[in-house]
Amino acid sequence: MLDDQFKKQRASLVRDLAARADPFIRRRLLDLAARYEHSERRPSPLTPITLPIAEQGDGAAER
C-alpha cells in the first residue's frame, strides 16, 4: 500500500517537472511518470508441472 502511494506521488512530481522542462526532457519525464503509474507487481512465471526433467548423473559412473 505504501509502495502504491509512493509511486503515485512520484508520478505526480515527475509530471510537475515535465511541465517546466524542454520538449525532449518533457517526453522522457512523461514516459517515466507513465511507468510509475502503470507498474504493477506481476508474479513471476512458474515452471510448468509438465516440464520434463532430464536426469543427471552424479559422475560416479564415469570414474
For residue 33, the one-letter residue type is: A
For residue 41, the one-letter residue type is: R
| Whole-number pLDDT of residue 4 | 85
Three-class secondary structure assignment of 6-30: HHHHHHHHHHHHHHCCCHHHHHHHH
CA dihedral 23, 28, 29, 31 (to 10 degrees): 120
pLDDT digits (tens, 9 = 90+) for 8-34: 999 999 999 999 999 999 999 999 999
Query: What's the pTM value of the predicted model, to 2 decimals?
Result: 0.58
| Whole-number pLDDT of residue 37 | 86
CA dihedral 3, 6, 12, 15 (to 10 degrees): -80
Q: Is the pLDDT of residue 44 over 70?
A: no
